């Protein structure tokens, strides 16, 4: 939020209030409320607002159930009794359905000014608009996506997969940690898959299955969830345990043949990480271990991945 309204009105007995004073007082409280919305609750759908396709004589419309959302600027978007959109666009294609915050002067609240014949609105109505757009709309809240065919017709139902729900934003350090863990997971999955393909070996080992399953589960959670520090530590701990079991089994088969050479750097890194694992369950110690461990684990997985990529693409080119 660019504007800062951190000056609170300080009234005193006998003070003559003007419209400027009252506007400043409103702006102060609105600014506080929007700050809380953005940093404590986050943007997205809070409650309700489920959209459905409704057929009319003019064409299909989108009917949105009652509910509440917060936009990226911290505005409250309230739909008290549900609402129906205009007819969907005539041009065929994919569209996002958005709710946008709006403000309008209330014509019914007009009042005559003191010592004047001029009449002005005395109230502002906070409302919303339903719009369709093919691209993202700044500060709008998406409630669904539709595919429009000829004649203002919607194909199928409203797609709700991309609707974001209001959640408190993650602290920057957690976001960085989360992104680094995701990089490690992505590199490890690619390394696993290409290693088995190059060696033309089916994933028959139970340890390999468990490790790959843990990686894929972690990938899914990192994409879709807002994960706390303790949960990130638990996830990384599980990944290191599965990785160590899998790599130890690979090394036992033959350290110079088969899959083992493709995981050489990862084996060295994971062995060191497991050795330095803290014995205490204190969160600060676990986070410190994870921060340091991720640097080595990501670097090792990345190096092994690049090596196997070279071999994999050489074999593909030969074919």
| pLDDT score recorded for residue 126 | 96
**CA neighbor of 246 nearest in space, from 185, 203, 298, 184:** 203
Q: Residues near 246 by Cβ (< 8 Å), separated by ≥ 6? A: 205, 207, 208, 210, 211
| Residue 229 confidence class, pLDDT cut points 50, 70, 90 | confident
Cα dihedral: 9, 12, 14, 18 (round 10)? 0
Is residue 14 over pLDDT 90?
Answer: yes
pLDDT digits over 113-124, tens only? 887 888 999 999
Both tokens of 23, joined, read 């506007």
- Phi first, then psi: what are they for 164, rounded to 5°? -95, 145
Average pLDDT of the residues in 63-88 = 96
* Every domain of the chain and the residues it spans: 20-159, 172-318
Residue 68 near residue 79, CB atoms below 8 Å? yes
Q: Which has the higher per-residue pLDDT, 44 or 2?
A: 44
Range picked from 129-143, 162-176, 224-238 for highest mean pLDDT:
129-143
pLDDT of residue 168: 73
Q: What is the mean pLDDT of residues 46-74?
A: 96
Q: What is the mean pLDDT of the chain?
A: 90
Percent above pLDDT 70 for the chain: 95
pLDDT tens digits, one per residue of 241-272: 999 999 998 888 766 778 889 999 999 999 99
Dihedrals phi, psi of 178, to nearest 5 degrees: -60, -45
Give CA separation, 205 vs 138, 198, 208, 250, in Å.
49, 16, 5, 10
Which pLDDT does position 202 carry in this prediction? 79
Above 90 in pLDDT, residue 172?
no
Q: Rounded to an integer, what distance in angstroms lies between the CA atom of residue 118 and that of residue 105? A: 16
- If pLDDT is split at 50, 70 and 90, which confidence band does 213 have? very high
């Amino acid at each position: 939020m660019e504007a800062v309204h951190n000056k609170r009105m300080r009234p005193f007995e006998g003070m003559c209030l003007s419209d400027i004073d009252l506007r400043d007082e409103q702006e102060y409280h609105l600014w506080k409320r929007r700050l809380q919305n953005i940093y404590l609750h986050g943007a997205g759908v809070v409650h309700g607002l489920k959209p459905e396709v409704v057929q009319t004589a003019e064409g299909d419309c989108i009917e949105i159930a009652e509910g509440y959302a917060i936009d990226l600027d911290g505005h409250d978007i309230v739909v008290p009794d549900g609402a129906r959109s205009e007819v969907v666009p005539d041009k065929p294609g994919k569209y996002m359905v958005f709710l946008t915050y709006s403000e309008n002067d209330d014509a019914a609240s007009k009042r005559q000014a003191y010592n004047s014949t001029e009449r002005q609105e005395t109230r502002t109505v906070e409302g919303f608009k339903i719009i369709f757009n093919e691209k993202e709309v700044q500060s709008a809240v998406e409630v669904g996506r539709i595919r429009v065919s000829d004649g203002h017709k919607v194909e199928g139902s409203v797609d709700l997969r991309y609707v974001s729900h209001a959640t408190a934003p993650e602290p920057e350090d957690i976001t960085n940690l989360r992104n680094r863990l995701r990089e490690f997971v992505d590199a490890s999955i690619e390394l696993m898959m290409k290693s088995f393909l190059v060696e033309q070996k089916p994933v028959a080992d139970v340890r390999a299955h468990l490790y790959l399953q843990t990686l894929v589960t972690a990938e899914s959670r990192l994409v879709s969830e807002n994960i706390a520090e303790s949960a990130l530590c638990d996830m990384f701990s599980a990944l290191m345990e599965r990785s160590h079991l899998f790599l130890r089994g690979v090394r036992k088969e033959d350290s110079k043949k088969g899959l083992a050479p493709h995981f050489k750097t990862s084996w060295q890194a994971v062995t060191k990480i497991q050795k330095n694992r803290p014995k205490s369950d204190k969160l600060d110690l676990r986070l410190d271990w994870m921060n340091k461990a991720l640097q080595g684990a990501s670097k090792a997985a990345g190096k092994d991945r690049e090596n196997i990529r070279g071999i994999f693409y050489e074999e593909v080119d030969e074919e």
